[in-house]
Structure 1
Amino acid sequence: MLRTWVEGIDAIMARDPAARSRLEVLLCYPGLHAVAMHRLAHRLWRWRLRLPARLLSHIARMLTGIEIHPGARIGRRLVIDHGDGVVIGETAELGDDILIYHQVTLGGTSLVAGKRHPTIGNGVILGAGAKVLGPILVGDGARVGANAVVVSDVPAGATVVGIPARPVERRPAGADLLPYGTPCDETLDPALRSIEQLRAEIAGLSARLAALEAGQRGARAPAPSGESG
């Protein structure tokens, strides 16, 4: 347990420039507290002490705003930055060195018992507000953009953005780790680029139509009569 605490603090120090000291991280970072309480709750869950495990996870949610089901399996050096609104479901499995921002959901899409939550590989970044749903796999080193909704497997090393999430050809230049994850905007999302292109075409057609209508009105206007003298 001591080793996991030290690893967690060092992982936060490495990924959050706002962290000024290990003592500050230990006292003031709810993500660290939520993960530590989950590890104890998960141990109780494995011992089939299900009600105490659920009670401890409930207390952790009230204290930190982060909900992690005690059945979820979490690897080493998980960093939950800010954390408020994060939800990790019962059958979710997380690898090592994952970074999760606030409002992320690792949720299920089925009411049937069994594996129904995502598996997240090593070194994955889940941007703020991302929703990863169902028993899908997000491969090692993948990036999920802010507010993306992921409902199918993500290949290792890929970056996905949008609703539903789609892969993009590149990551933003000059950054492997971005605050709040890869932004989901029109410069990266192919669907949004297509919509913007359609909007531009519609605006052009509207302008041409307006010009044609103006020309027709001018052609139908009667010629001015000559002055009588």
Structure 2
Amino acid sequence: MGIWKRMREDMDVVFEQDPAARTYIEVCLTYSGLHAVWSHRIAHAFYKRRMFFIARVISQVSRFLTGIEIHPGAIIGRRLFIDHGMGVVIGETCEIGDNVTIFQGVTLGGTGKEKGKRHPTVKNNALIATGAKVLGSITIGESAKVGGGSVVLRDVPDHATVVGVPGKVVKQNGEKVRRDLDHHKMPDPVSNRCEYLQNEIDALKGEIAELKEGKKHHVD
């Protein structure tokens, strides 16, 4: 695919994913996620030719201008959509498939000073919501969703939804998960557990009150 067709494809993704997008001129000139992806392609081309210094300079200039840090060694597929993007970090050995959506504040990072493959692999059609941290050489499965603010340290199966700290699978139905912007509607297992405990406490309080009332009548 030619460079202009690829750039047009990148802009089309913005229209598909962001209802605020209006014109190609606006998208081309004002979307930092788009600029970061385009800059990364240039930096990655130098990186593959072992021109590491130039690659890092390009990536750091892009970081300064966009607020998005993508290491030039990262491998990124087609139609990546980075929404808003401020604070996004993508590590050197990351591998990102096609049609992936990433929101602001996401980190695809390592867990220490280990060598080799130390950053996540994100498969096709995955969605990683605001502020999520995906750490280590793990795999986010195809069409999987990672909820906002989650910390993921283990592999996520295909078609699964993960939320919480640490991230836990809360949904896996074997069907493709919708790629939309409704990540604020994802289930919250911590909140659900707290609600369950509160109901148990209320029930115990009721039983204690009944026992006290029965004891009072018995004394009378």
The aligned residue for residue 63 of structure 1 is: 65
Quick one: which amino acid aligns to residue 195 of structure 1? C
The aligned residue for residue 11 of structure 2 is: 9
The aligned residue for residue 143 of structure 1 is: 145
User: How many equivalent pairs are there?
Assistant: 215
The 2-side partners of 1:215 and 1:67 are apart by: 67
Q: How does 1:1-229 map to 2 (within 5 A)?
A: 1-169=3-171, 176-179=178-181, 181=183, 183-184=185-186, 188-209=187-208, 212=211
Partner SS for 2:42: helix
More deviation in 155-164 or 68-77? 155-164
The 2-side partners of 1:130 and 1:180 are apart by: 15
Quick one: which amino acid aligns to residue 197 of structure 1? Y
Percent of pairs with identical residues: 47
Tell me by how many angstroms 1:217 deviates.
7.8
Report if the CA contact (8 A) 1:142-1:158 is conserved.
yes
Tell me by how many angstroms 1:70 deviates.
0.8
Tell me by how many angstroms 1:50 deviates.
1.2
The 1-side partners of 2:183 and 2:103 are apart by: 7
Tell me by how many angstroms 1:30 deviates.
0.3
Q: Which runs of 5+ in 2 are unaligned?
A: none
The 1-side partners of 2:154 and 2:131 are apart by: 17
Tell me by how many angstroms 1:153 deviates.
0.8
Tell me by how many angstroms 1:95 deviates.
0.4
The 2-side partners of 1:53 and 1:147 are apart by: 31
More deviation in 32-41 or 139-148? 139-148
Partner SS for 1:163: coil
Partner SS for 2:137: coil
Quick one: which amino acid aligns to residue 196 of structure 1? E
Quick one: which amino acid aligns to residue 83 of structure 2? D
Tell me by how many angstroms 1:199 deviates.
2.0
The 1-side partners of 2:110 and 2:46 are apart by: 23
The 2-side partners of 1:26 and 1:194 are apart by: 45
Report if the CA contact (8 A) 1:127-1:180 is conserved.
no
| TM-score normalised according to structure 1 size | 0.85
The 1-side partners of 2:54 and 2:214 are apart by: 79
Quick one: which amino acid aligns to residue 16 of structure 2? A
Tell me by how many angstroms 1:194 deviates.
2.2
| TM-score normalised according to structure 2 size | 0.88
The 2-side partners of 1:213 and 1:165 are apart by: 43
Cα 1:57–1:24, aligned 2, differ >3 Å: closer, same or farther?
Answer: same
Quick one: which amino acid aligns to residue 161 of structure 2? T
